[in-house]
Amino acid sequence: MHYRVLGRTGVRVSELCLGTMQFGWTADEETSIRILNAAFKAGINFIDTANIYSRWVEGNPGGVSETIIGKWLKNSSIKRDQIIIATKVRGKMGEGPNQEGLSRIHILKAVDDSLRRLNTDYIDLYQTHWYDENTPIDETLSALDNLIRGGKVRYIGCSNYPAWRLVESLWCADENKYHSFTVLQPHYNIVHRSEFERELAGVCRRYNVAVIPYSPLAGGFLTGKYKRDSANESQRAGSAKKYFNESNWNLLDLLEQIGSEEGGLSISQTALAWLLSNDLITSPIIGPRTLNQLEDNLGAAGRQLNFQNKKLLDEASNWN
């Protein structure tokens, strides 16, 4: 497994980050543990989760993914400092006025709950899941700064932030001598480029913010399992359906062609390699539900496309 430095932190993380939203949802606990073991054995040392995973599923109270990771750590021989754990705060975790958001009161409760579920006394990367328009950024950053100074959190990051809010956050941290966001987790892949590339990419490059994109395979669309001639018959397309158009079907054909030229990469491996060929990207967050999916994703580690193939894909997926 290849490794990269996480922004300004000096922390070396694996090129692929193991996302765990599927744990306790589309992957049961036993399967999730097997995936964790196999990923670690393959060299993945970076695990991303969130306290709300997966509260939207009937019967899931939230915190299930964190709990599975905590059980895995407790029952394995893996030392805590061999793993980089990232989790998030923002979403609703109970009833009442202070059970969500990025206020000081919610953050201080949420971090303790996450630490307990994860069976650890510190979180390597604590991320705000999306911004909170009802809480001043100063209050949020002050609370996060206190967590770092108190040893509960090592570094902080944010997810789903527009460029103006990220810049405001960096400015506020600098002005008040708070620890600042060193990581951005955006929605980014080859068929969903403009949200990140239009403004956020420039901010991350200018201020050396690490980028760990989620949904790098576009909800399964970039695995190649959906075909233009049978797309309308798919009952499990879910979030991938929004990508069903002729331009993207042609892009899948090109990904398949380039993957063959690059040494027999699958469509999903080529899509991941496209991200890894961008020097802004630290670790795409993969979300395998099975060991077979994990094995396929692992084939992208250390792979970068040659200049001409990268250019062809850039032009074919250009949003300008």
Give the model's pLDDT for residue 231.
Answer: 62
Q: How far apart are CA 99 and CA 132, in angstroms?
A: 13
**260 CB-near residues (< 8 Å, 6+ apart):** none
Q: Looking at residue 229, what is its pLDDT?
A: 82
- Catalytically annotated residue among 3, 53, 188, 226: 53
pLDDT confidence of residue 232 = 56
Has 126 been annotated as catalytic? Answer: no
**pLDDT recorded at residue 288:** 97
- How confident is the model at residue 293, as a pLDDT? 97
The dihedrals phi and psi of 201, each to the nearest 5 degrees, come to -60, -45
How many helices (H) and strands (E) the chain has is answered by 11, 10
| β-sheet bridge partners, residue 125 | 86, 155
Q: What are phi and psi of 213, to 5 degrees?
A: -70, 140
Domain boundary assignment for the chain: 3-222+278-303
Q: Which of 88, 1, 11, 26 is nearest to 51 (CA)?
A: 88
Asked, as a colleague might, if the bond just before 230 is cis with ω within 30 of 0, I would say no
Can you say whether the dihedral through the CA atoms of 40, 45, 51, 54 is positive or negative?
negative
Task: Give the residue among 88, 82, 78 at the shortest CA–CA distance from 117.
Answer: 88
- The mean pLDDT values, 10 residues at a time, for the chain of 320 residues are 95 98 95 98 98 91 96 95 98 91 98 98 98 96 98 98 98 98 98 98 98 97 90 65 95 97 97 98 98 98 97 96
Residue of 278, 286, 287 whose CA lies nearest to 303 = 278
Q: How many CA atoms lie within 13 A of 201 on its CB side?
A: 14
**The CATH number of the domain covering residues in 3-222+278-303:** 3.20.20.100
- The pTM score is 0.96
**Residue 30 identity:** E
